[in-house]
Amino acid sequence: MQPFCHLLILFTNESLCTSSLIAAVCSGAKKVTSIESSSGSLPLYSATVSQLANRLPVSDAEYIVLNAHFESILLEHILGGPAQIACSEPYYEVLEGWHLQEALNYFYILRSMKLRGIVCNNAFCIPSSARLVGCAIELDEFFINSYSGIEKGVKNIRTILDFNHDVVDAHCNRFHEYDMNYPLWQFKHRKLTEPFEIARILYEGSVETMMIEGDGVWKSCTFGKVGKCAAFLYWIDYHLPVQQGFQIISTKDEYHFQSIRLLKTPVVVANHTTFFVQFNLSSDDDSDYNWSFRIE
């Protein structure tokens, strides 16, 4: 870290907020600003205690914790002017399972801050990029049946204990229209394809060059196993620059909540059949994005 650099810390929990501040100042940063959007005074108290315990700030260095929302931050609130380094931990809520939403949220907030001059266009960003990765999976029949509605019975009416459930069941076949999060280690499932990259989110660069590669592009992978394809499982691989190359922090661990999108109808597949996926940020409804699938 270069002396006199200005560092902006985004998207952290309270403990990481404090440790990031200490590490940044001890590494040579002279002006460190951490934005903590959570409610309560814990981030401020945590920073104060750590500052006293570590005899910080060092000579000619200072840091602050701003308890505010990102959209309300102005350049005058940032120590030392536009940040030369933007550091964040968008993956710290990984257990909640909203991996893609967190990665996109960081992209839009960082681009907004560059547009407003709070972060330099050539700022060093941690993480520098994120890969949207996924694979086709087979799910247990019990799982599939639980999300496929009620079968029609006598007189073509869906009933449970003789009560008509037609009105409610009209919504039971719509689980393929939005993503769902599950602790998949609790459910029997099997990967039918190798993981492959769907899109790449670039955090570094100017407002004009920051982009999401793969938006609207069909990506494909060949099935390596025979089975019934029922859903698409996806996760985020964050790339953190280190001295030699990159370190990857992934949200794919199965003890986390995993994000899946069910296919409208499960499809029996054979070896060498191809699975096609399209990730599209342009949506006809109020969704942040849409998925499209086809098997050939």
Nearest-angstrom CA–CA distance, 84 and 186: 44
Residue at 212: amino acid letter: I
- Flag whether pLDDT at 272 surpasses 50: yes
Residue 214 pLDDT:
94
pTM of the shown model: 0.80
Q: Pick the range with the lowest mean pLDDT from 23-27, 175-179, 226-230.
A: 23-27
In this structure, are residues 83 and 118 in contact, taking their beta carbons and an 8 Å threshold?
yes
Residue 263 pLDDT:
93
Q: What is the mean pLDDT of the chain?
A: 78
- Helix (H) or strand (E) holding 23, with range, is helix 14-26
In this structure, are residues 197 and 237 in contact, taking their beta carbons and an 8 Å threshold?
no
Residue 53 pLDDT:
58
Residue at 265: amino acid letter: T
- Flag whether pLDDT at 84 surpasses 50: yes
Domains of the chain: 6-89 (no CATH), 130-295 (2.70.160.11)
Pairwise pLDDT comparison (137 vs 20), residue with the higher score:
137
- Helix (H) or strand (E) holding 167, with range, is helix 166-169
pLDDT tens digits, 237-268: 999 887 777 888 888 876 667 889 999 889 99
- Flag whether pLDDT at 13 surpasses 50: no
Residue 29 pLDDT:
62
pLDDT tens digits, 95-131: 566 788 889 988 998 999 899 998 889 888 888 999 9
- Looking at the chain, the whole-number percentage of residues with pLDDT higher than 90 is 30
pLDDT band at 209 (very low <50, low <70, confident <90, very high): very high
- For residue 39, the tally of other CB atoms under 10 A from its CB is 8
Residue 144 pLDDT:
78
- Flag whether pLDDT at 160 surpasses 80: no
Q: Pick the range with the lowest mean pLDDT from 76-80, 191-195, 203-207, 223-227.
A: 76-80
Residue 14 pLDDT:
45
pLDDT band at 294 (very low <50, low <70, confident <90, very high): very high
Pairwise pLDDT comparison (138 vs 153), residue with the higher score:
138
Residue 54 pLDDT:
59
In this structure, are residues 184 and 233 in contact, taking their beta carbons and an 8 Å threshold?
yes
